[in-house]
């Protein structure tokens, strides 16, 4: 088997990545614009054509710049005479509506081509993951980890969307790889490579700084446990000198990364008027605010915006400040029968458990249990050596497993930050931990297999792994195209996930084009009342076949209704709403959806008999 894979690995690798590419391209063509893309795509195009970041500054420009590259070829019209550009502060949503649907452009063409670079990032992600695993643990491990990635429906659900979620996971993986090349061999070549990819990570999403404490700790720990290649007079002096070298080069590395960040921001902002930047700063961080932190933020950012050299970094730090402001403010979310603006501590653990495929969960839990048992057994087995200088068990462990230790530490830190944050809007926010979960899982599974001595037991374990991977592949193919709204069997699959969570987990506006197709297939529906969660233009897709609807609109009439699951669940479980301004009449009637379009839009057929029941029972 191993020999077969080694001889044909390029073909197998191409087949797996071709699956990712084809499925992603099909979804790029068939999914309507999801909520955030309506802001990201016009911002992306404006960055490359106007060199101005007045739109969507709360996200770094790298992913958007890449997404906009194909648009330079088709050259759509971008009307800078509109108010979203001339007078509004961060008029990203109006910019999206104008650019995509009201400027004579072909919106589906723009959306499709803007998504292609994200798909290519996903392909690079998969390639990089495979070769890192192959280099570290062998070719079988490479294909095992790649399969976990390539057939994870959550990856396939987001790898064709113009957002920062897939991008930060990919560039964080790249940054970790090159940073630990520097840790293992602190040559100047590795300093510059690590600094460059650290910059790309920072330019992908503002959650990137969560990695800094982990990388910083590794920079301190590794030289303190590193053994000299030749005999030295004083191990203490050697390690002190090595620590100084690492810290010094790491500082240069970080400064170099900021230079790269500055360069990309400068390219994206050099035509942006200073007054517009200051106006944006004042809007989000008012100098007259009673909050001292807001005042200080305003003062620093405005001062930086005054000078051409510091102006790009003013825009960079404005974005970071906006993210902190948004996280502290929270976001109203539905979670398992509750609606709240405050975070749910169980949100991310629950979402991870019900959205990751069961084979992936099994492998991850097994890997965690095996790793912890090994650490515990090794600790007690080597207890007498714990405090010896050169042979200390802990020193040996950190010296030989610094990469894996840092990955695990990052997962713990990122999970803690996510759980304690006030922003519960989707599994996608856990994407940065996925590549490291794939790598650590792969390592532990193959470390376990190495310890199996019996040929018979090896066959048994390899067979179990093969069956689970086959299950993963078959299930992923079977649930196409509903990857964004994927839920595993514990939650009842993609069609039922909205009962647990909504927003980008299930309903991000992706099914509007499918609603259009549904109406074409059902000519008996002359007109439908639509309550759609999304920023895509309903009129463009449905024409005169719809009427706008919302939960408090009355009177209820006999007709067809199309209701997004995000709005339905939010309306049913929001305790601030009364029965008269909610969809609780649907529950009171015991009404079940007649159809489910995609996974996120429920179709109800409200009849005259239903209206009679409403009147008879005085249902609001």
pLDDT digit string (tens) for 416-453? Answer: 999 998 888 899 999 999 999 999 999 999 999 999 98
Using DSSP bridges, classify how beta strands 601-606 and 333-335 pair: parallel, antiparallel or unpaired: unpaired
List of long-range contacts for 317-322, beta carbons under 8 Å, 24+ apart: 318/57, 318/277, 318/280, 318/281, 318/284, 319/57, 319/58, 319/59, 319/60, 319/206, 320/206, 320/209, 321/284, 321/285, 321/297, 322/57, 322/58, 322/284
Please give the average per-residue pLDDT across 452-467, as a whole number: 92
pLDDT tens for residues 327-340? 877 788 999 999 99
Q: pLDDT band for position 144 (50/70/90)?
A: very high
Higher-confidence residue of 447 and 236: namely: 447
The β-bridge partners of 563 are 531, 602
Rg value, the chain, Cα? 27
Q: pLDDT band for position 392 (50/70/90)?
A: low
* Residue 228, pLDDT above cutoff 90: no
Please give the average per-residue pLDDT across 474-487, as a whole number: 97
Predicted pLDDT at 600: 97
* Least confident interval from 38-52, 92-106, 142-156, 318-332: 318-332
Q: Determine the Cα–Cα distance for residues 499 and 93; give it in Å rounded to an integer.
A: 29
* Residue 245, pLDDT above cutoff 80: yes
* Residue 23, pLDDT above cutoff 70: yes
Please report, rounded to a whole number, the percentage of residues in the chain having pLDDT higher than 70.
97
* Least confident interval from 419-423, 458-462, 588-592: 419-423
pLDDT tens for residues 518-573? 999 999 999 999 999 999 999 999 999 999 999 999 999 999 999 999 999 999 99
* Residue 389, pLDDT above cutoff 60: no
Q: Determine the Cα–Cα distance for residues 131 and 422; give it in Å rounded to an integer.
A: 37
Please give the average per-residue pLDDT across 388-401, as a whole number: 74
The β-bridge partners of 562 are 530, 603
Q: pLDDT band for position 396 (50/70/90)?
A: confident
Predicted pLDDT at 455: 86
361, 365, 351, 369: which is closest to 468 by C-alpha? 361
List of long-range contacts for 322-330, beta carbons under 8 Å, 24+ apart: 322/57, 322/58, 322/284, 323/58, 323/206, 323/207, 325/284, 325/285, 326/58, 326/423, 327/421, 327/422, 327/423, 328/422, 329/422, 330/422, 330/423
Q: pLDDT band for position 383 (50/70/90)?
A: low
pLDDT tens for residues 182-204? 999 999 999 999 999 999 999 99
* Least confident interval from 326-335, 449-458, 461-470, 595-604: 326-335
* Run of H or E including 562: strand 559-564
* Residue 5, pLDDT above cutoff 80: no
Q: pLDDT band for position 224 (50/70/90)?
A: very high
Using DSSP bridges, classify how beta strands 338-340 and 595-597 pair: parallel, antiparallel or unpaired: unpaired
Q: pLDDT band for position 342 (50/70/90)?
A: confident
Q: pLDDT band for position 8 (50/70/90)?
A: confident
Predicted pLDDT at 431: 97
Q: Which residues contact 543 (CB under 8 A, 6 or more apart)?
A: none
* Residue 36, pLDDT above cutoff 60: yes
Q: Determine the Cα–Cα distance for residues 527 and 548; give it in Å rounded to an integer.
A: 11
Q: pLDDT band for position 397 (50/70/90)?
A: confident
DSSP helix/strand/coil, 525:
coil
Give 367: exposed, middle or buried? Use CB within 10 Å, 0-12, 13-18, 19+: buried
pLDDT tens for residues 268-296? 999 999 999 999 999 999 999 999 999 99
Predicted pLDDT at 56: 96
Supply 439's token pair. 């790598």
* Residue 388, pLDDT above cutoff 60: no
* Residue 97, pLDDT above cutoff 60: yes
Predicted pLDDT at 44: 98
Please report, rounded to a whole number, the percentage of residues in the chain having pLDDT higher than 90.
87
Q: pLDDT band for position 227 (50/70/90)?
A: confident
Q: Determine the Cα–Cα distance for residues 431 and 419; give it in Å rounded to an integer.
A: 14
């Amino acid at each position: 088997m191993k020999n077969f894979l080694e001889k044909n690995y390029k073909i197998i690798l191409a087949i797996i990545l071709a699956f990712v590419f084809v499925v992603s391209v099909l979804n790029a063509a068939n999914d309507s614009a999801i909520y955030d893309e309506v802001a990201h795509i016009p911002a992306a195009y404006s960055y490359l054509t106007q060199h101005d970041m007045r739109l969507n500054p709360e996200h770094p420009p790298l992913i958007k710049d890449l997404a906009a590259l194909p648009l330079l070829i088709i050259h759509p019209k971008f009307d800078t005479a509109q108010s979203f550009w001339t007078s509004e502060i961060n008029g990203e949503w109006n910019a999206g509506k104008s650019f995509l649907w009201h400027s004579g452009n072909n919106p589906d063409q723009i959306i499709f081509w803007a998504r292609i670079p994200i798909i290519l990032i996903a392909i690079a992600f998969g390639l990089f993951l495979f070769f890192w695993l192959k280099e570290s643990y062998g070719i079988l491990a490479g294909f095992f980890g790649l399969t976990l990635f390539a057939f994870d429906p959550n990856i396939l659900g987001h790898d064709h969307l113009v957002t920062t979620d897939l991008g930060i996971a990919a560039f964080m993986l790249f940054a970790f790889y090159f940073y630990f090349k520097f840790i293992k061999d602190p040559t100047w070549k590795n300093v510059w490579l690590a600094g460059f990819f650290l910059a790309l990570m920072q330019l992908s999403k503002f959650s990137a700084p969560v990695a800094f404490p982990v990388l910083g700790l590794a920079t301190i720990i590794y030289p303190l446990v590193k053994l000299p290649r030749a005999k030295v007079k004083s191990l203490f002096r050697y390690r002190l000198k090595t620590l100084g070298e690492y810290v010094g080069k790491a500082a240069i590395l970080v400064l170099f990364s900021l230079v790269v960040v500055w360069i990309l921001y400068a390219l994206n902002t050099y035509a942006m008027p200073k007054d517009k930047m200051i106006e944006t700063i004042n809007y989000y961080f008012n100098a007259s605010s009673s909050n001292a932190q807001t005042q200080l933020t305003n003062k620093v950012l405005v001062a930086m915006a005054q000078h051409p050299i510091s102006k790009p970094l003013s825009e960079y730090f404005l974005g970071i400040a906006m993210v902190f402001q948004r996280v502290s403010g929270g976001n109203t979310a539905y979670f398992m029968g509750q609606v709240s603006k405050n975070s749910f501590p169980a949100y991310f653990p629950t979402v991870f458990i019900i959205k990751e495929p069961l084979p992936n969960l099994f492998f991850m839990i097994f890997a965690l249990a095996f790793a912890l048992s090994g650490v515990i057994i090794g600790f007690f087995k080597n207890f007498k050596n714990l405090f010896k200088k050169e042979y200390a068990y802990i020193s040996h462990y950190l010296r030989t497993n610094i990469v894996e230790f840092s990955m695990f530490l990052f997962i713990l830190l990122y999970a803690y930050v996510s759980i304690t944050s006030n922003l519960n809007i989707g599994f996608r926010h856990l994407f940065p931990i996925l590549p490291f979960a794939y790598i650590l899982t792969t390592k532990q599974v193959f470390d376990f297999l190495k310890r199996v001595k019996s040929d018979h037991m090896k066959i048994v374990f390899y067979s179990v792994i093969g069956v689970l991977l086959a299950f993963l592949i078959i299930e992923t193919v079977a649930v196409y195209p509903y990857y964004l709204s994927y839920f595993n069997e514990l939650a009842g699959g993609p069609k039922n996930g909205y009962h647990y969570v909504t927003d980008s987990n299930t309903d991000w506006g992706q099914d509007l084009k499918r609603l259009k197709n549904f109406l074409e297939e059902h000519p008996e529906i002359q007109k439908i009342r639509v309550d759609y969660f999304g920023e895509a233009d309903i009129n463009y897709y449905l024409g005169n076949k719809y009427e706008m609807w919302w939960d408090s609109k009355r009177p209820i009439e006999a007709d067809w209704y199309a209701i997004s699951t995000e709005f339905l669940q939010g309306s049913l479980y929001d305790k601030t709403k009364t029965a008269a301004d909610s969809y609780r009449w649907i529950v009171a009637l015991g009404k079940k959806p007649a159809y489910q379009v995609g996974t996120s839009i429920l179709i109800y057929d409200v009849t005259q008999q239903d209206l009679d029941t409403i009147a008879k029972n005085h249902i609001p």
